[in-house]
Chain A
């Protein structure tokens, strides 16, 4: 079974600064997808960024980028130029690419990010 580990329960960043959220995972599969989801106080889950394991290039979405280290099974999220609206709970998640189109997500425990003005 796959597991996703987010060992830091909370982090804080100064507005306009950069912060990195850590995530490691364990799997025996070679093909999979990794996600970072944001859950703001509204509790709506929002996709931040996605990485396909077969792609060596790290995914980037505006101020959000990942550092995907497949051999180390690490998938960290970097938020640049942090904004007050980035304050939320962030979840790292894993999806198998071989378990079928309807395979479930495996979530980490999440990290609460606060942004200091």
Chain B
């Protein structure tokens, strides 16, 4: 249980175009979704936190206009990389916190499988 499905797993786009990454909670309601960026052999860097029904909270240094986050429902959060450039190429991961009564991972988190974005 408590699965987050992330799509696409890989995407290649041309510089200047926009790309949308979706994260869906399949068997639970995710009121919050964390969005991370990860460079090779590095840790996960929190970009922003989305909350259903309200504006996302961005970490310092993250461009709000470039990384648009929408949490349209309790089961869907999206990250849109607008006007992508090669420096936006990275691995993006979403994660939802688990609360009480959500199986063995109580107090933990479930992660999407990640999206490898390549901007050419």
Contacts and interface: CB of A to CB of B under 8 A. Distances in A.
Interface string A87-117: 0010100010100011111011110100000
Nearest to B105: A47
Nearest to B49: A104
Contact of A44 (B38, B108, B114): B114
Given A104-B34, A104-B46, A47 B107 contact: no
Contacts of B34: 104-105
Interface string B88-110: 00010101010110000101110
B108 A45 contact: no
Nearest to A35: B108
Interface in B31-69: 31-32, 34, 38, 41-44, 46, 49, 51
A64 interface: no
B113 A103 contact: no
Size class of the B contact interface (CB-based, 8 Å): 20 to 34
Contact of B107 (A33, A42, A104, A109): A33
Interface residues of A, number: 23
Contacts of B111: 44-45
Contacts of A107: 43-44
A102 B43 contact: no
A105 B43 contact: no
Contact of B97 (A47, A52, A91, A102): A102
A105 B42 contact: no
A43 B99 contact: no
B42 A109 contact: yes
A3 to B, nearest CB: 12
Contacts of B107: 33, 50, 52, 95, 97
Interface of A: 33, 35, 42-45, 47, 50, 52, 89, 91, 95, 97, 101-105, 107-110, 112
9 contacts: A44-B114, A50-B107, A52-B107, A89-B41, A91-B44, A95-B107, A102-B51, A107-B43, A108-B43
Closest 3 CB pairs of A and B: A45-B111, A102-B32, A101-B99
